[in-house]
Structure 1
């Protein structure tokens, strides 16, 4: 059902969606459900339909070495992170990164979207005890200038995509999974399930966290993921294959005559009209490359960028929308001056603490598949629904600052306050900086130093292999890595065009650890992990700490190790932030680019402030939200 170039070039469609990834295919399915609307999706990568390399759930990570499956976006040397350079891999092909991710299905905590703020009524109330009764709920996103973007509205749209399938009885009972009380979708097209195999060792690790005082979270999808639990994957248990945007939203709808998908079509720029009397421009179509030639396609209603955080902002700049300084340096004629384009980049990072397991530890890990004989054994076990090819990455935990480091929480909370004061003292002439001050104030609330308060923004993921540096694993040994994830970072980066030539990649500067508070938070994270690893039953299956290693003990050495070894978690957001224009915003609450009549951005680049969750479910949710916005079904506040 895939289109040919003659079906697209010089043609006109109601909606032209640039990017057939997670959000793009979700939105395309929504819009094309109305047979009166014509929808075109331009995807730069291949289709990869029914490709076993993509569908195999145990193949996560293997795609990153194959340029056919991922883009390798280079980022520049980081002066606050040992001058390291690197790449960010992103999905290339239909389904985008949902086809190459690690499959985990998370949702952010309610307080990351719905924060509590005092109402004007309380300010005039005589009785301070009435405080808690006069609180009103606004979302953090709403507080940043986006009416209607509440947790309830977000949740309703994400649930439409979810198709949870219950775990087997043994896994459920052994790991405290009580899905009957979960607020999660069961009828959606993205199938969610647990691996058929969850080793006893995973349960021992979770039990240790519980012994250390962290709760067994039996309802992690009800708005509070704090505690430890086993996360489901975007996996169809009937076929033991990846459930992703292509299988969920494209293939079931591929026969629709009003849905056209052209692959290997790389967008070069959005075609824009001259400004009207109100100073607004109209997106008339898209210029793209296919088969070595440049073509155009026209849009009757809207052009929608769903190319991802690293590409959608680049396309805006190539189209003449962005900071005057950036566009002038790249020799790109200015159509709309919008300083926030490519700014406010945020990323989740992690440090991997790896442990060599004892010979009798009841946990098979991916390390042993390096042995050809063991690999052959597990390929045979897979035929019976057993072994590593039916296992996965499942053990997770979420902690607030007051839980992670109760003694140091007040000091760190106060340090955040000083960062805000210093930023405010610099003045508010820069709109991007104004928006950053507002974000930091919300982050200060998320990092509350009071027990029982604050967002559980510290994430621990149990990964069944060595996933750390610098020390190499010993052949024949098994390892588990505790990935210590910082979800609420303060550092900000940028993505900017350096040339008007679309084939020249943008300059990506993650700004890693540019705010030293991030390093402090990661340091506390590691200290607590070592404390947990010293307790049974986890301690009983550990032979030694491989990375950072027992010799890395001083504060200076630990921080140096973090600077040299932390890694990306592939959750980049923010370069087209949904904020007021005067605070560095790029899109309105309707996801429309400021200064345009009909150009939207629908991918996680619009998120203005990061969430304590992997971003897969939110990308799908954005596709659903955008569909409601376009169809007039999104709440008007």
Structure 2
């Protein structure tokens, strides 16, 4: 039996939830939303600090591993991706950053009219319910609650801000305001003490609509065609083969891994690569799976003379007290992200905009082997982490299928630090962080540098440290790049796949270049903007 709909949205992540909710909002269109994972109404998903549990939970997390990265110590890197309603917005660290206005001007200049800053800012404002209310930079009545919990920041964050000013960086209370540059608190997708995932923001209010059908535990396997027209999809729901057709359109929103993988499984991609796997070629589209981008992060760890969150969360009784506080007040460290502060800096004075993102976490935990990072078990002494992440890396990787089996994880090769430009910017960023942690304020706080340690001083020693200890910030993007060239790009500016009818892609895979910051907010924006394009509201 084949179900019939107007629209089918494949993937209920950050973009897919927003898109399905908007497409079904009027009641005029019958919408099917397919999600490979299960329901998000789970305790550890809804409480903010719960991402420490879901980080390695295969019931809600795809838990991908990259192939060994030759330019990063020949190590595999861990790529968690949400396998649950809300997608990665249900398991991420909730940091809300849009990126820089120039990022979107770059998209527009790359041949994508309608995607400049003036085009996307109204979309961001429409989707926000910022705690500070409506302003020139924020929306006040949208579905996505955004908070800036200054009163709950750990006291060490104030030392970090003071040290940034001593290092020549202004304090900036809002990285999504008039300027991104500076050090300051992060804003979070948290509302009333609960995680504000895309599912909670968009799907919870929409799930009772009679024209919206939500299928969970539904793994997409192959698109169906009538010539150049995409007519439907085959999938497995709880292991049972099913199919559905779309009278209007199918929109892929499976993210930078799921969307290109489904295209490839359906015969849309590099022709020779598909033939070698025994997949019949429907449309030769060389760009599918290429242009893979991600942010790479490098940490420093310091023992602290002053209490950190370790003192509060390492002992069992401390965790119990924090849990009780949260249950009574919906506040405290259980109701926060661990990435409480950070910043955006220019590593060279001649740069026109920030090129490096900073993170400050007032606790520490040891990173083990891939798949073994204990976020819920801080070190048993006062310590904290600082990190750097290049805003706009030039290294590009790829995603490929390993076989024609739609249930086998694809080959992921991010090629971190593969360009001299990226290596140099990371060196500059790390040297700045060393400058910041050597300010008078931080010298009073820091007892000792644990990693990489004070003996790591030369550029070669630092690069060895970067290659052997860095990892993903979990921002994969670009694998279905938006642009005007069918030979290299996958979709047009209207999100339609080049050369096909009734098929669009709307998620982080479309980013022509990676935004300068965390990618959850831009992904939700893409879902919102896709609804405008599809419904003719732009």
Q: TM class, shorter-chain normalised? A: over 0.9
Counterparts of 2:379 and 2:517, CA distance in 1: 34
CA deviations 1:326-382 (Å, max 9, x no partner) are 111111111111100000000001101111111xx2x53146423112222323333
Q: Which residue of 2 aligns with 1:20?
A: 12
Q: Which residue of 2 aligns with 1:374?
A: 318
The 1:298/1:202 distance shift into structure 2, 3 A limit, reads same
2:344 to 390, 398, 403: 398
- C-alpha deviation, 1:112, in angstroms: 1.8
Q: Which residue of 1 aligns with 2:155?
A: 200
Q: How is 1:285-324 mapped onto 2 (pairs within 5 angstroms)?
A: 285-324=232-271
* 1:468–1:547 Cα contact (<8 Å) kept: no
Q: Which residue of 2 aligns with 1:445?
A: none
- SS of the residue aligned with 2:63? strand
* 2:221–2:234 Cα contact (<8 Å) kept: yes
* 2:363–2:385 Cα contact (<8 Å) kept: yes
* 2:340–2:362 Cα contact (<8 Å) kept: no
* 1:193–1:233 Cα contact (<8 Å) kept: yes
1:145 and 2:137 are equivalent in the alignment: no
Q: Which residue of 2 aligns with 1:250?
A: 203
The 1:475/1:92 distance shift into structure 2, 3 A limit, reads closer
- SS of the residue aligned with 2:440? coil
Q: Which residue of 2 aligns with 1:58?
A: 49
Rg larger in structure: 1
Counterparts of 2:505 and 2:278, CA distance in 1: 24
1:456 and 2:354 are equivalent in the alignment: yes
1:159 and 2:125 are equivalent in the alignment: yes
Q: How is 1:277-292 mapped onto 2 (pairs within 5 angstroms)?
A: 281-292=228-239
Q: Which residue of 1 aligns with 2:58?
A: 67
* 2:154–2:362 Cα contact (<8 Å) kept: no
Q: How is 1:463-478 mapped onto 2 (pairs within 5 angstroms)?
A: 463-466=361-364, 475-478=379-382
- C-alpha deviation, 1:457, in angstroms: 2.3
Q: Which residue of 2 aligns with 1:42?
A: 34
Counterparts of 2:40 and 2:460, CA distance in 1: 47
1:260 and 2:213 are equivalent in the alignment: yes
- C-alpha deviation, 1:294, in angstroms: 1.6
TM-score (ref. length: structure 2): 0.94
CA deviations 1:179-204 (Å, max 9, x no partner) are 88661111111111133511222111
1:364 and 2:262 are equivalent in the alignment: no
Q: Which runs of 5+ in 2 are unaligned?
A: none
* 2:495–2:504 Cα contact (<8 Å) kept: yes
Q: Which runs of 5+ in 1 are unaligned?
A: 1-8, 114-138, 167-178, 275-280, 404-449
Counterparts of 2:89 and 2:260, CA distance in 1: 20
1:77 and 2:68 are equivalent in the alignment: yes
Q: Which residue of 2 aligns with 1:225?
A: 180
The 1:386/1:505 distance shift into structure 2, 3 A limit, reads closer
- SS of the residue aligned with 1:520? helix
* 1:470–1:547 Cα contact (<8 Å) kept: no
Counterparts of 1:180 and 1:282, CA distance in 2: 42
| The 10-residue stretch of structure 1 (464-473 or 205-214) with the greater mean CA deviation from structure 2 | 464-473
1:331 and 2:278 are equivalent in the alignment: yes
* 1:197–1:390 Cα contact (<8 Å) kept: no
Q: Which residue of 2 aligns with 1:389?
A: 334
What is the aligned-residue RMSD (CA, Å)? 2.0
* 2:344–2:357 Cα contact (<8 Å) kept: yes
- C-alpha deviation, 1:469, in angstroms: 5.6
- SS of the residue aligned with 1:302? strand
* 1:354–1:467 Cα contact (<8 Å) kept: no
Q: Which residue of 2 aligns with 1:121?
A: none
1:91 and 2:82 are equivalent in the alignment: yes
Shift >6 Å, 4+ stretches: 470-474
- C-alpha deviation, 1:385, in angstroms: 5.5
TM-score (ref. length: structure 1): 0.80
* 1:69–1:92 Cα contact (<8 Å) kept: yes
- C-alpha deviation, 1:224, in angstroms: 2.0
CA deviations 1:405-448 (Å, max 9, x no partner) are xxxxxxxxxxxxxxxxxxxxxxxxxxxxxxxxxxxxxxxxxxxx
